[in-house]
Amino acid sequence: MAPPGPAKLAPSLGATNSLHDLKIMDDGQRQVPLPDYERNLRMIVQRCAKTGARLIWAATTPAPDAKVNPPRHSADVAAYNAVAKRIMNDAGVAIDDLYALVNPRLEELQLPANVHYTPAGYDVLGRQVAESILRALDVAQADSLMPHAFS
């Protein structure tokens, strides 16, 4: 079986920028308050669903409770993820829980006091995302398409 080409793959993806939405601005407010985030995300999902695309929501990865710039709080990540997960469940959107994947291994995978990841962390995240996309595309022989990603 040949790998899916870009024309099949591109309409199968959707994304949000929750980690940016929940950052704390100079006035102490979130860049996108949670009620606005919920409304915006519902609208994005509705619009994307109309295209016939196979949607996958990737949970926002953890933000450390450390001094980071711009400031973020780990509890906000959990709150925004909970809202998004409810929306995705209601809409029947596939969920790729990257938060649950990396949270138990943060010391190993995430850079200290940073929202970014080590090379090993990006490898773990990338493999998970690839697997999630292949599942959404109903690729039966995922191992043969990307043997290096599943070893």
Q: pLDDT for 95-132, tens place per residue? A: 999 999 999 999 999 999 999 999 999 999 999 999 99
The answer to whether residue 58 sits within a structural domain is yes
| Residues paired with residue 11 on neighbouring β-strands, in sequence order | none
SS3 56: strand
- CA angle in degrees (0–180, nearest 5) for 70-71-77: 110
Q: Does residue 103 lie within any of the structural domains?
A: yes
What's the pLDDT score for residue 52? Answer: 84
Give the 3-state secondary structure of residue 137. coil
Q: Domain for residue 73, yes or no?
A: yes
Determine which of 29-38, 50-59, 78-87 has the lowest per-residue pLDDT on average.
50-59
In a domain, 140, yes or no: yes
Provide the domain count of the chain.
1
The answer to whether position 2 is within a domain reads no
Which domain range does residue 146 map to? 7-150
34 assigned to some structural domain: yes
Q: What is the CATH number of the domain that holds 46?
A: 3.40.50.1110
The pTM of the full predicted model, rounded to 2 decimals, is 0.81
Task: Answer yes or no: are the C-beta atoms of 59 and 96 closer than 8 Å.
Answer: yes
On whether residue 72 sits in a domain, the answer given is yes
